[in-house]
Amino acid sequence: MARTESNAIELGTTAPDFALIDVRSNRALTRDQIFASHPQGCPRLGLLVMFVCVHCPFVIHVEEELGRIGQDFFGRAGEGPLAMAAISSNDVATYPQDAPEFMRIQADRCGWTFPYLYDETQEIAKAYRAACTPDVYLFDRDLKLVYHGQIDSTRPQKYSEDGKLVPATGADLRAAIANLFAKQPPLAQQNPALGCNIKWRDQ
């Protein structure tokens, strides 16, 4: 299983804009539309952008935990304080299992309530300097980067001393979200994400 670390990106970087199709609603959504508060919801405190895909074992390991994070902070209909979006940028000509029809199945299976966007041109992954899946970016209410690191320290096929598979906890990402909501400075310790490399075209 190939392993790729996330790129080092300076905290305070502004979230690049985008306009991508949500594979479930078939609507084009921009960064600002996703960040906009739900009419009956909480004011937005931040934006979480996650580069993922369908087939990567590192994503499969955390996909249900991402669903729980979505339900906890984004809400069932986007009424929560954290705006969220998942983006898949993999080349589906080479990896057809990552095509939009399978993205929809993944989102439904994992209880993802947030938009799942298809970056067909891969331009948004390049704008974010995304390198791997999963690769997560947490921005504050001013859309400035406050966390870019691992979701947690668990990995696929990682076992405890008693031989049990260690489940994903989302501990690092949840700590960063709690820190953001508490209006604290960005966490000093941010370990890079580890995952499959994004499947670029012509590479």
Tell me the pLDDT tens digit for each residue of 38-92: 888 889 999 999 999 999 999 999 999 999 999 999 999 999 999 999 999 999 9
CA dist., res. 145 & res. 49, Å (int): 10
CATH for 53: 3.40.30.10
Question: pTM here?
Answer: 0.96
Per-residue confidence (pLDDT) for residue 134, from 0 to 100: 99
The answer to whether residue 187 is domain-embedded is: yes
Per-residue confidence (pLDDT) for residue 41, from 0 to 100: 85
Q: Would you call 187 exposed, middle or buried from its count of C-beta atoms within 10 A (0-12, 13-18, 19+)?
A: middle
H or E element at residue 93: none
CA dist., res. 148 & res. 139, Å (int): 9
CB 102, CB 54: distance < 8 Å: yes
**How sure is the predictor about 145, in pLDDT bands with cuts at 50, 70 and 90?**
very high
The answer to whether residue 132 is domain-embedded is: yes
CB 58, CB 22: distance < 8 Å: no
Per-residue confidence (pLDDT) for residue 161, from 0 to 100: 80
The answer to whether residue 203 is domain-embedded is: no
- Average confidence (pLDDT) over 155-179: 90
Q: Which of 3, 103, 116, 1 lies closest to 54 in space, CA to CA?
A: 103
The answer to whether residue 127 is domain-embedded is: yes
Per-residue confidence (pLDDT) for residue 203, from 0 to 100: 63
The answer to whether residue 146 is domain-embedded is: yes
The answer to whether residue 202 is domain-embedded is: no
How many structural domains does the chain have?
1
Mean per-residue pLDDT over the chain, rounded? 96
Alpha helices in the chain (DSSP H): 31-35, 57-69, 100-110, 123-128, 171-181
Domain extent for 171:
4-197
Per-residue confidence (pLDDT) for residue 1, from 0 to 100: 57
